[in-house]
């Protein structure tokens, strides 16, 4: 029996049981079946969650790009590896074959080398969704450089923080980007960020918008001429299984972003195997994930997972609303997309529009639909099922995280019966448990608790770059010998999981993971602000929106409150990015605090949600009187 592709529920249970009983044997078989190794491992797994230390496929040697590209050249060099659909539908789409991708990546890898990048160096990539983004990622992996992709919607200040934290020597960017009818000056943002990053020696600039930009002598270089001159063959660097592959930042509950570090072999095996099974990818299919490569979804399921399977993966530069709200469906028809993977927030936004935007297009190519990033509500699930999948395409509700590297809980299409709002069953090799608040495992079904994973899986992050203690404290100290996800979940009577949302100070807004702490830091930097607290409240399209409660230094501040709100929002946009701007900002005299001075966010969350009938016991607060004052002020903002 081939382990690689699970075809029905019975087989899923068989494979799952094996993966739990004999995890090492199980993963060894998956790893042997489908990859090119320069040297096999001496040991499949060693682990200790108390340190924490996890090693998969120890001492194996490989290069992931050899598995993503070279391996496919002989059998399917002419097959399309990447379809690139530009922002403007009138511009021609690009169909890049595996051989052409090979050439681009090799040239790019040589450009990196010619500019002093070696194995182990860190390279920051700040690019829009243009083909060069995929080339850049793979070129780094080709030579063993560690990529750190920063989503090109982040501000100069956020880019600088990440560039510094990851010790990047090089920046790869473009002259600008197109997003709908907007043109964005990416290079200007980079220039500003690099004022604070003296260690960045070289900036490679891809041409996209043709904007007139500033090129700093000796530092900035246009990419195209270098690519043209570069040799199109670059020997892959032979990497150790546990050599770092990339760093990717995610928000946390303190101000500083966490640079999750992923390594090579385990990440490769897991993303490849999940992609094949969860999207039921068949040889001639066209697969499209609408995420940005700046997020983990794009790393694992636009670039690595699909290419490792020799798939055709579609990259879209634009936004779902341009030139109109039918754009996604137009692309599905145009490229005959078979698997479509998007976020609940996009589904909710599109479901609010006229159905004509959908019905105009032929969506009959679709076979599997996916969602990721936040819980999907029942209404959105049914809209997706009825109008996009026409009730014949299973929806895979995939739960996972930047930290997990790959999908952890998800139906397997045509095997696992789906259930609206449920991510259903753990993928083979994943052992979820629910824990109560005092550290006891909650067994049985029809229960809820905090979601933990009790056994390592190949694509888990190995550390937070530069801060292993924080890695241990954040993920491995809440529950002994378990990885704590930060999410709450329930398990229904059949053992299906439903993720109910974050139980920590992270808020998912439109599928973006935002920590409250960095947003509060940005607000507090405004000279008029004394203190602030940011909480989430339910939002029809975004899932959650942000609500900021702000205390001003001078109470009854005479300045115009609307202007202050604008300034605070601008400050957040500058420090983090526009996605972190609160929908509401309310100026208050005080924040509800416990006697030890901790802000009672639970109360603020209820107020922000206009759910004030039962605020629980407020008498133990240090300052119970502020609660009424805040409630009275709700409507004045
Ligand atoms: C958090 C991780 C992993 C890709 C994108 C987000 C939430 C993710 C689901 C889902 C309910 C989900 C969780 C998780 N989340 N997928 N299918 N159902 N919640 O990655 O930015 O690292 O965020 O997203 O809260 O912890 P991320």
What lies within 8 Å, CB to CB, of 245 at 6+ separation is 64, 141, 146, 147, 262, 263, 264, 267
Inform me whether the pLDDT recorded for 2 exceeds 60.
no
The whole-number pLDDT of residue 67 equals 98
**For residues 365 and 286, what is the distance between their CA atoms, to the nearest angstrom?**
9
Interval 18-39: pLDDT, tens: 999 999 999 999 999 989 999 9
Would you tell me how many other CB atoms lie within 10 Å of the CB of residue 337?
A: 23
Put the strands of the sheet holding 432-435 in their side by side order: 441-442, 432-435, 447-453, 483-491, 497-502
Question: pTM to 2 decimals?
Answer: 0.93
CA of residue 512 to ligand 1 center, whole Å: 8
Q: Which atom of ligand 1 is nearest to the CA of 403?
A: 22
Inform me whether the pLDDT recorded for 256 exceeds 90.
no
The whole-number pLDDT of residue 517 equals 87
Mutate to test the pocket of ligand 1, among 401, 448, 501 (most ligand atoms within 8 A of CB): 401
Going by pLDDT thresholds of 50, 70 and 90, the confidence category of residue 1 is: very low
CA of residue 343 to ligand 1 center, whole Å: 10
CA of residue 14 to ligand 1 center, whole Å: 27
DSSP 399: B
CA of residue 602 to ligand 1 center, whole Å: 21
Interval 398-453: pLDDT, tens: 999 999 999 999 999 999 999 999 999 999 999 999 999 889 999 999 999 999 99
Nearest to 260 by CA among 458, 50, 161, 403: 403
Give the three-class secondary structure for 374: coil
CA of residue 300 to ligand 1 center, whole Å: 14
The whole-number pLDDT of residue 438 equals 86
Mutate to test the pocket of ligand 1, among 411, 488, 508 (most ligand atoms within 8 A of CB): 508
The protein residue with its alpha carbon nearest to ligand 1, atom 6, reads: 373
Inform me whether the pLDDT recorded for 193 exceeds 90.
yes
The protein residue with its alpha carbon nearest to ligand 1, atom 5, reads: 373
Section 97-108 average pLDDT: 98
Section 140-169 average pLDDT: 97
Q: What residues flank ligand 1, with Cβ below 6 Å? A: 250, 296-297, 372-375, 397-402, 423, 485-487, 499, 502, 508, 513
Query: Which residue's entry shows tokens 């087989």?
Result: 11
The protein residue with its alpha carbon nearest to ligand 1, atom 17, reads: 399
The whole-number pLDDT of residue 558 equals 61
- Evaluated on CA atoms 255, 247, 345, 381, the torsion sign reads negative
CA of residue 501 to ligand 1 center, whole Å: 9
Interval 295-344: pLDDT, tens: 999 999 999 999 999 999 999 999 999 999 999 999 999 999 999 999 99
The protein residue with its alpha carbon nearest to ligand 1, atom 21, reads: 513
Q: Which atom of ligand 1 is nearest to the CA of 423?
A: 17
CA of residue 580 to ligand 1 center, whole Å: 17
Give the three-class secondary structure for 559: coil
**For residues 203 and 174, what is the distance between their CA atoms, to the nearest angstrom?**
10
**Which residues in 397-421 are b (16+ Cβ under 10 Å) and which e?**
bbbbbbbbbbbbbbbbbebbebbbb
**For residues 256 and 165, what is the distance between their CA atoms, to the nearest angstrom?**
9
% of the chain surpassing 90 pLDDT = 89
The protein residue with its alpha carbon nearest to ligand 1, atom 13, reads: 374
Q: Which atom of ligand 1 is nearest to the CA of 485?
A: 26
CA of residue 373 to ligand 1 center, whole Å: 4
Going by pLDDT thresholds of 50, 70 and 90, the confidence category of residue 600 is: confident
Section 286-300 average pLDDT: 98
The protein residue with its alpha carbon nearest to ligand 1, atom 3, reads: 401
């Amino acid at each position: 029996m081939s382990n690689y592709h699970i075809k029905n529920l019975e087989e899923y249970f068989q494979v799952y049981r094996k993966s739990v009983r004999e995890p090492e044997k199980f993963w060894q078989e998956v790893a042997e079946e489908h990859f090119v190794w320069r040297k096999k491992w001496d040991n499949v797994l060693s682990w200790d969650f108390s340190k924490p230390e996890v090693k998969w496929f120890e001492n194996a040697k490989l290069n992931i790009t050899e598995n993503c590209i070279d391996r496919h050249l002989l059998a399917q060099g002419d097959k399309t590896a990447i379809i690139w659909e530009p922002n403007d539908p009138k511009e021609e789409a690009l169909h890049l074959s595996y051989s052409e991708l090979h050439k681009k990546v090799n040239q790019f890898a040589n450009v990196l080398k010619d500019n002093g990048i070696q194995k182990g160096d860190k390279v920051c990539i700040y690019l829009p969704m243009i083909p060069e983004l995929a080339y850049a990622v793979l070129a780094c992996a080709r030579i063993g450089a560690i990529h750190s992709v920063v989503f090109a919607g982040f501000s100069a200040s956020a880019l600088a923080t990440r560039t510094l934290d990851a010790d990047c020597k090089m920046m790869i960017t473009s002259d600008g980007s197109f997003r709908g009818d907007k043109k964005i000056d990416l290079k200007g943002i980079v220039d500003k960020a690099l004022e604070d990053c003296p260690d960045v020696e070289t900036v490679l600039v891809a041409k996209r918008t043709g904007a007139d930009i500033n090129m700093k002598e000796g530092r900035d270089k246009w990419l195209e001429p270098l690519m043209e001159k570069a040799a199109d063959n670059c020997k892959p660097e032979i990497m150790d299984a546990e050599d770092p592959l990339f760093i990717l930042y995610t928000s946390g509950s303190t101000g500083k972003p966490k640079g999750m570090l992923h390594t090579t072999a385990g990440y490769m095996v897991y993303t490849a195997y999940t992609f094949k099974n969860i999207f039921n990818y068949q040889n001639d299919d066209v697969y499209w994930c609408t995420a940005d490569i700046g997020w983990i979804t794009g790393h694992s399921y636009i670039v690595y997972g699909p290419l490792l399977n020799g798939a055709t993966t579609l990259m879209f530069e634009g936004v779902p609303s341009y030139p109109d709200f039918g754009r996604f469906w137009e692309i599905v028809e145009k490229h005959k997309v078979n698997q479509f993977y998007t976020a609940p927030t996009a589904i909710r936004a599109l479901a609010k529009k006229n159905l004509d935007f959908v019905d105009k297009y032929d969506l009959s190519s679709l076979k599997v639909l996916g969602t990721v990033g936040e819980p999907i509500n029942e209404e959105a699930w049914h809209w997706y099922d009825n109008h996009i999948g026409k009730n014949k395409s299973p929806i895979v509700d995939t739960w996972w995280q930047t930290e997990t590297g790959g999908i952890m809980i998800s139906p397997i299409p045509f095997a696992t019966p789906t259930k609206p709002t449920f991510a259903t069953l753990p993928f083979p090799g994943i052992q979820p448990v629910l824990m109560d608040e005092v550290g006891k495992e909650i067994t049985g079904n029809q229960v809820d608790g905090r979601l933990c994973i009790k056994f390592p899986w190949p694509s888990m992050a190995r550390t937070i770059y530069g801060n292993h203690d924080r890695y241990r404290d954040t993920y491995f100290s809440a529950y002994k010998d378990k990885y704590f996800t930060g999410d709450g979940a329930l398990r229904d009577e059949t053992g299906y999981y439903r993720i109910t949302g974050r139980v920590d100070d992270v808020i998912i807004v439109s599928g973006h993971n935002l920590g409250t702490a960095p947003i509060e830091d940005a607000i507090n930097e405004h000279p008029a602000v004394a203190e602030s607290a940011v909480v989430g409240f339910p939002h029809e399209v975004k899932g959650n929106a942000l609500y900021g409660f702000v205390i001003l230094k001078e109470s009854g501040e005479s300045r115009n409150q609307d202007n202050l709100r604008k300034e605070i929002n601008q400050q957040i946009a500058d420090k983090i990015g526009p996605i972190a701007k609160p929908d509401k900002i309310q100026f208050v005299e005080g924040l509800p605090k416990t006697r030890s001075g901790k802000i009672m966010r639970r109360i603020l969350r209820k107020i922000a949600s206009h759910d004030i009938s039962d605020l629980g016991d407020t008498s133990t607060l240090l300052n119970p009187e502020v609660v009424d004052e805040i409630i009275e002020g709700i409507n004045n903002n």
